[in-house]
């Protein structure tokens, strides 16, 4: 396999990896948590989760470690709480 093909495959693998808690903490971004049962949601700081789960814990798997404070369900989805770009006022 040519060198350019190996580099391309390596780059693609890096893009497929989920974001980890340590990367979010470096950017000061929290974790948005959503209960799939009662629709309760909250934002948890990534540093708080690092204390419990470690810096290399993937964001999509954080939900499996959580319980909804509204209904007690363990059916929680998580994603990075990226900053908003503001209200979109125009679609061209």
DSSP-assigned beta bridge partners for residue 80 = 31
Indicate left, alpha or beta for 72 from its phi (over 0: left) and psi (-120 to 50: alpha).
left
Q: In this predicted model, what pLDDT tens digit does every residue of 73-86 receive, in sequence order? A: 999 999 999 888 77
pTM: 0.74
Determine what percent of the chain is predicted with pLDDT higher than 70: 91
Q: How far apart are CA 46 and CA 30, in angstroms?
A: 5
The pLDDT value recorded for residue 42 is: 94
For residue 82, give the DSSP letter: P
Residue ranges and CATH numbers for the domains of the chain are 21-80 (2.20.28)
pLDDT of res. 4: 81
Render pLDDT for 26-36 as a digit per residue (tens, 0 to 9).
Answer: 999 999 999 99
20 strand-pairing partners: 58
Q: Give residue-wise pLDDT tens across range 55-75.
A: 999 998 999 999 999 999 999
At 73, list the tokens.
């369900």
Quote the mean pLDDT of the chain.
88
pLDDT reported for residue 90: 67
């Amino acid at each position: 396999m040519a060198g350019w093909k190996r580099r391309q495959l390596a780059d693609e693998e890096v893009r497929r990896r989920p974001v980890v808690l340590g990367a979010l903490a470096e950017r000061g971004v929290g974790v948005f948590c959503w209960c799939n049962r009662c629709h309760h949601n909250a934002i948890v700081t990534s540093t708080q989760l690092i204390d419990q789960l470690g810096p290399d814990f993937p964001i999509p798997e954080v939900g499996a470690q959580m319980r909804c404070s509204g209904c007690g369900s363990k059916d929680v989805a998580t994603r990075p709480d990226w900053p908003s770009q503001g209200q979109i006022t125009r679609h061209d």
